[in-house]
Amino acid sequence: MPTLLIASRNAHKAEEIAAILSDSFAVQTLAKFPTAPEVV
């Protein structure tokens, strides 16, 4: 299964996206990458 990285630290937004796409993608967020720079 492909992984989709959500470029957000907003947990609620990630939950909404995962609910829609979790059948097709393993959804990850920037929380897994704490040293990632801020997204602007």
Q: Is the pTM of this model over 0.75?
A: no
Return the HEC string of the chain. Answer: CCEEEECCCCHHHHHHHHHHHCCCCEEEEHHHCCCCCCCC
Using only the alpha carbons of the chain, give its radius of gyration. Answer: 10
Which residues are 29's β-sheet partners? 6
Mean pLDDT score, 23-33? 90
**Average pLDDT rounded to a whole number, residues 1-25:** 91
**pLDDT range class, residue 22, cuts 50, 70, 90:** confident
39 has a pLDDT exceeding 80 = no
